[in-house]
Structure 1
Amino acid sequence: MSAPPGPPAPSPTFLIIALGRRLRERVERTLRTRGMSMRHLSALGHLGGDPGVSYSELARRAGVTAQSMQATLRQLEELGAVDREGPAGRGNTARLHVTEHGQELAAWARSVLEETDRELFGHLGEAERAGLTGGLLTAFTAPERDGAGNGPTAG
């Protein structure tokens, strides 16, 4: 008589989803102390890397609607993190730029991510951490079957 089968091996997909939800809640809670969210950090990261990029291009890169990105950028303007040069409105293109305060906020937000990395992965050796990061990047940047793969936005 054979022993009953044990529980199935955990699914990496399930583990990543569950861990991602927990980490996002944790990071978002800290970012909110300065009026930010992951969406704000993503927009600052894209805009910092490509000053003057359009609302629609920022929205495409972040995987959100143009209207949602406009709301995010309006919030960043209110925080003093982004400024707009040129006319805004239908048919007009405003050039968006990260302010010095926005650069400081983005650096602080990245430090929140780094601290979370240390807390979660600090016990790993350098080679293990590099392997984990490399494996996640490979999975994250692999083309999706529908061709809509989006790469990382912050970090």
Structure 2
Amino acid sequence: MAGDGDDARPPLSTAFLLMTLGGRIREEIEERLRAERMSLRHLSALGHLARHPGLSYSELARRAGITPQSMQATLNALEERGAVERVTVPGRGRSAQLHVTAEGLRLRRVGTDVVAGIDDRLRVQLGDPTRDALTDALSGLLSGADD
């Protein structure tokens, strides 16, 4: 019935808006990375290994939020491309020592350039003060997510 509030729009959900925008940005990044035969998983693994050489499959998987089996497949693909090299042979109870190669560093730069391009577009769309405030607010929310 008209006038009983059924037609009123619900308030915008911040969580829903962030989730939707995040999904769109993720899709755009993935699409741009595909041109280099990469994915966000590849970029994540290269980033973690570049900062912390020798991390185990399990630790890399935990940091990326995926299963160790998925991380192993990701690292195998990177190894086949020459982006990651295995310094030691993995064995039962032993971690494979993995390191990023020059090709891996190149691919990581390509990936970070993709993300930087999207950041630049957001800076133009939002303006520096708004983008900086949003970045600070989101960073604070992420820091508090571990509490």
Q: Normalization by structure 2: what TM-score? A: 0.88
Contact 1:35 1:79 in 2 (8 A): no
Local SS of the residue matching 1:122: helix
Contact 2:61 2:68 in 1 (8 A): yes
Aligned residues: 144
Q: Deviations over 1:59-105 (max 9, x none)?
A: 11111111111111101111211111111233232111011111111
Contact 2:84 2:100 in 1 (8 A): yes
2:71 alignment partner in structure 1: 69
1:91 alignment partner in structure 2: 93
Runs of 4+ in 1 over 4 A off after TM superposition: none
> Whose radius of gyration is greater, 1 or 2?
2
Q: Normalization by structure 1: what TM-score? A: 0.84
Q: 1:31: how far off?
A: 0.4
Listed as ranges, the gaps of 5+ residues in structure 2 are: none
Local SS of the residue matching 2:106: helix
Local SS of the residue matching 2:126: coil
More displaced stretch, 69-78 vs 4-13: 4-13
Listed as ranges, the gaps of 5+ residues in structure 1 are: 148-155
- What do you get for the CA RMSD once the two structures are aligned? 1.9
Q: 1:6: how far off?
A: 4.6
Contact 1:86 1:94 in 2 (8 A): yes
1:153 alignment partner in structure 2: none
1:54 alignment partner in structure 2: 56
Q: Deviations over 1:43-62 (max 9, x none)?
A: 11111110111111111111
1:22 alignment partner in structure 2: 24
**Inter-partner Cα distance in structure 2 for 1:99 and 1:87:** 17
Local SS of the residue matching 1:29: helix
Q: 1:122: how far off?
A: 1.5
Whichever residue aligns with residue 124 of structure 2, its letter is: G
Contact 2:122 2:131 in 1 (8 A): no
Q: Deviations over 1:91-126 (max 9, x none)?
A: 232111011111111011111011112223313332
**Inter-partner Cα distance in structure 2 for 1:84 and 1:110:** 23
**Inter-partner Cα distance in structure 2 for 1:33 and 1:79:** 15
Identity among equivalent positions (%) equals 48
Question: Alignment partner for residue 44 of structure 2, among 42, 55, 69?
Answer: 42
**Inter-partner Cα distance in structure 2 for 1:112 and 1:33:** 11
Local SS of the residue matching 2:125: coil
